[in-house]
Amino acid sequence: MYLTYIRRELRRRSKQAIVIAIGLAIGIGLVMTVSATSAGVKAAQGKVLHSLYGVGTDMTVTKTAAAGKSGFEHFGNFNFGRSSSTTHPKAGTHLSRNSLTAEIGQATLPASDVTKVASLDGVSAATGGLQLTDTSFSGTIPSFNSSGGFSSSSGSSVHTNFNIGTFTVDGIQITKSGVGPLTSSDISKGKFFTTADNTKDVAIVSSSYATQEKLKVGSDLKVAGKELKVIGIASTGSSSTDVYIPLGTAQKLAKMKNDVTTIYVSATSANDVSTVASAVHKVLPKATVTTSATLANEVSGSIKSAANLASKLGKWLSFAALIVAFIIAGLLMMAAVSRRVREFGTLKAIGWRTRRIVSQVMGEGVALGLGGGVLGILLGIGGSSMVSAISPKLSATVGPSFDTSGGASPVDFGNGGGGAPFGGSFPGASSHRPSAHGVGDAARSVAVHLTAPLQGNDILLAVVLAVAGGVVAGAFGCWRAARLRPAAALRRIE
């Protein structure tokens, strides 16, 4: 009787039932789509963070260079006679230099710090790494004018004819822990490093860099002017590291014996991350400890906008739609009950208790809610599939942006002050990665595609919302039904 009555009643006012169900479905579908998109944005952020961290890493430890030692000192190799010299290089002099330096703004840590961190409670593994930039420079010195700028013989400014090439290099500690920016699972061709490779002249290149430079397994690659043999190609997704070399090799080539720039730390448990971070900070008070939570805050770019859109506007918009749907459903239910005054009055007159009538109305509301829920789930699946199909490209930038397109260049060409007058960008510097994290680091940009993966939780959320919508709608009707007096059955007007 209970279910038959619900089914027949909903069929009788099918138009209204469809309106209520569609209203609820739109709200539920929106919430599901936004929820799935938020999950997609989080996954995208996770990819970004993963590219910065590496597999299995819970936090990184870095050290910011002290003021005046921002890492540019390594460019001393390119100091062609600045203030320390009173003579400029002669015009027409051909210069060619190659340098492997630490990331700008990053100081080094002694390798012994890796052991210190590894021995802390709650740390399951720690490895060291050197994040470096290989910069090659070649060109001919033009003549200088009296103001210190470059000029042609006619006195007008000229565009310099320098070739500057950069690529990023990660020196990685070869361990079995799997913690760090590259693991054997990332290797798509060739092989991963073995512990015997620690100081050998071997390299693994990213697939994108291999394509760009036409490198393959067995090719030779110059790092810091030294020929290295490519032994593997890595598919590291959104990572912008171009070349991976063993830590010992990196320390040797960068002349940073026993130094690391980054310590990759894996905590025993995800719950211990903040505790371990505090412990690391105590052991290395001058170091910067970055967890995924702090790093996530540094992410900017369209991915940040998408995250904000999903978490703020999207969430509130969908919940607003849902609440409006709930209220409309409730009001329509209340109106429907009002039209059934005589019906419910009759049921009361024949002995039905108020709670039985209320449960009948509630059952109708929940049935509508579930109907709306099924439609909503379909809409949610459609919405999330649409987002995944469109797969908008999101950019993510970590750290402050580093503008090389003009203005003062961080590279000191010894022009005697007054700033570098020549504009122009570093060829090949579009994906400068400067490393890790913290003040003073340059920006690292990566691109990820947004998907909206629906998860079990989203379906569960839809079901909960559907039932809640039904209960809210039913509650409005129940409130009205409960107030009916049985004498209403004897009214003579419809």
Partner 1 sequence: MYQLIDVRKYFDRGGNVVRALDGVSLAIGENDFLAIQGPTGQGKTTLLTLLGGLDRPSSGQVIFDGRDLGALGEGDLAELRAEAFGFVFQTFNLIPTLTAKENVEAALVPFRTGKAERTRKALETLDELGLADRATHLPGELSGGQQQRVAIARALVKDPKVLLADEPTGNLDEDTRDEIVALLERLWRDRGITLVIVTHDSSVARRAQRIAIIKGGRVSVRKEQALAR
Footprint on this chain of partner 1 (rule: CB under 8 A) = 1, 4-5, 8-9, 11-12, 342-343, 346-354, 356, 485-487, 489-490, 492
Q: Which is nearer to partner 1, 139 or 486 (CB)?
A: 486
Strand, helix or coil for residue 170: strand
Q: Which is nearer to partner 1, 121 or 494 (CB)?
A: 494
Distances in whole angstroms, Cα of residue 382 to Cα of each of 34, 43, 151, 309, 386? 12, 20, 62, 20, 6
**Helix H or strand E encompassing 295:** helix 292-298
Minimum distance of partner 1 from residue 449's CB (angstroms): 52
Minimum distance of partner 1 from residue 23's CB (angstroms): 23
Minimum distance of partner 1 from residue 27's CB (angstroms): 28
Tokens in use for 348? Answer: 């009361």
Minimum distance of partner 1 from residue 25's CB (angstroms): 24
In angstroms, the CA 243 to CA 222 distance is 10
Cβ neighbours around 85 below 10 Å, total: 11
Q: Which is nearer to partner 1, 34 or 332 (CB)?
A: 332
Q: Are 358 and 440 in contact (CB under 8 A)?
A: no
CA angle 243, 70, 50 (to 5 degrees): 40
Q: Are 57 and 179 in contact (CB under 8 A)?
A: yes
Tokens in use for 303? Answer: 């991915």
Cβ neighbours around 53 below 10 Å, total: 27
Which one-letter DSSP state was computed for residue 131?
E
What is the C-alpha R_g of the chain? 33
Tokens in use for 118? Answer: 């590894």
Q: Which is nearer to partner 1, 447 or 482 (CB)?
A: 482
Q: Which is nearer to partner 1, 191 or 356 (CB)?
A: 356
Minimum distance of partner 1 from residue 336's CB (angstroms): 13
Residue type, 467: V
Q: Which is nearer to partner 1, 285 or 351 (CB)?
A: 351
**Per-state percent for the chain, helix, strand, coil, to nearest 5:** 45, 20, 35
Minimum distance of partner 1 from residue 331's CB (angstroms): 22
Minimum distance of partner 1 from residue 369's CB (angstroms): 20
Q: Which is nearer to partner 1, 14 or 235 (CB)?
A: 14
Minimum distance of partner 1 from residue 1's CB (angstroms): 6
| Beta strand extents in 141-197 (DSSP E only) | 163-172, 187-190
**Helix H or strand E encompassing 479:** helix 456-482
Q: Are 203 and 75 in contact (CB under 8 A)?
A: no
Q: Which is nearer to partner 1, 9 or 458 (CB)?
A: 9
Minimum distance of partner 1 from residue 370's CB (angstroms): 19
Tokens in use for 283? Answer: 């052991």
Minimum distance of partner 1 from residue 341's CB (angstroms): 11
Q: Which is nearer to partner 1, 432 or 480 (CB)?
A: 480
Q: Which is nearer to partner 1, 282 or 492 (CB)?
A: 492
Facing residues of 232 across strands?
190, 204
Minimum distance of partner 1 from residue 367's CB (angstroms): 14
Minimum distance of partner 1 from residue 485's CB (angstroms): 7
What is the separation of C-alpha 276 from the centre of its chain, rounded to a whole number of angstroms? 23
In angstroms, the CA 491 to CA 412 distance is 96
Which of 192, 211, 212 shows the shortest CA–CA distance to 202? 192
Minimum distance of partner 1 from residue 361's CB (angstroms): 14
**Helix H or strand E encompassing 135:** strand 123-140
Q: Which is nearer to partner 1, 255 or 356 (CB)?
A: 356
Q: Which is nearer to partner 1, 5 or 316 (CB)?
A: 5
In this structure, the chain runs to a length of: 494
In angstroms, the CA 60 to CA 437 distance is 8
Cβ neighbours around 70 below 10 Å, total: 18
**Residue 478: burial class (beta carbons within 10 Å; 0-12, 13-18, 19+):** buried
Q: Which is nearer to partner 1, 349 or 447 (CB)?
A: 349
Q: Are 104 and 412 in contact (CB under 8 A)?
A: no
